Amino acid sequence: MSSKLGFKKVANKRDFQKGNLLRVEPDGKPILLSEVDSKIYAMDAICTHEGAPLEEGNLEQYSLTCPWHYAVFDVRNGKVSDATVWATDLKSYPVEIEDDTGDILVNLNGTDDKTIL
């Protein structure tokens, strides 16, 4: 059972039964997983403005609103909205799903540069 180089199991798709935001902490690093239209995204879980826990935020489609001061982030790439200049971009991470088990793997080493819109 070898995973791709750099990817680490952080959760399972079954963990999303209670909602579409899930905080995990692989190696003590807070990561927020979000599920939109059956696709899972990963980015830093702490708001860059004043450290709010983003898993308590509000997710509408790809826009995650911080629960404290309402900064808005795109869960696909961690980019902050142009309308919320008091926060800076979050780091996003590549995600792989193992088809046979539903395990969610995240690469904590690199930013996901393969976003195609």
Smallest CA-to-CA distance from 75 within 90, 56, 96, 53 is with: 90
pTM > 0.75: yes
- Please say whether the beta carbons of 50 and 69 come within 8 A: yes
Smallest CA-to-CA distance from 18 within 28, 2, 33 is with: 33
pLDDT digits (tens, 9 = 90+) for 70-93: 999 999 999 999 999 999 999 999
Q: Per-residue confidence of the chain (117 residues) as pLDDT tens digits?
A: 345 678 999 999 999 877 799 999 999 999 999 999 989 999 999 999 999 999 999 999 999 999 999 999 999 999 999 999 999 999 999 999 999 999 999 999 865 444 433
Please give the backbone phi and psi of residue 110, each rounded to the nearest 5 degrees, phi first: -140, 155
Which amino acid would we find at residue 44? Answer: D
Q: For the domain that residue 39 is a member of, what is the CATH number?
A: 2.102.10.10
Q: In Å, how far from its chain's centre is CA 106?
A: 9
What is the total count of domains within the chain? 1
Print the domain residue range for 61: 7-107
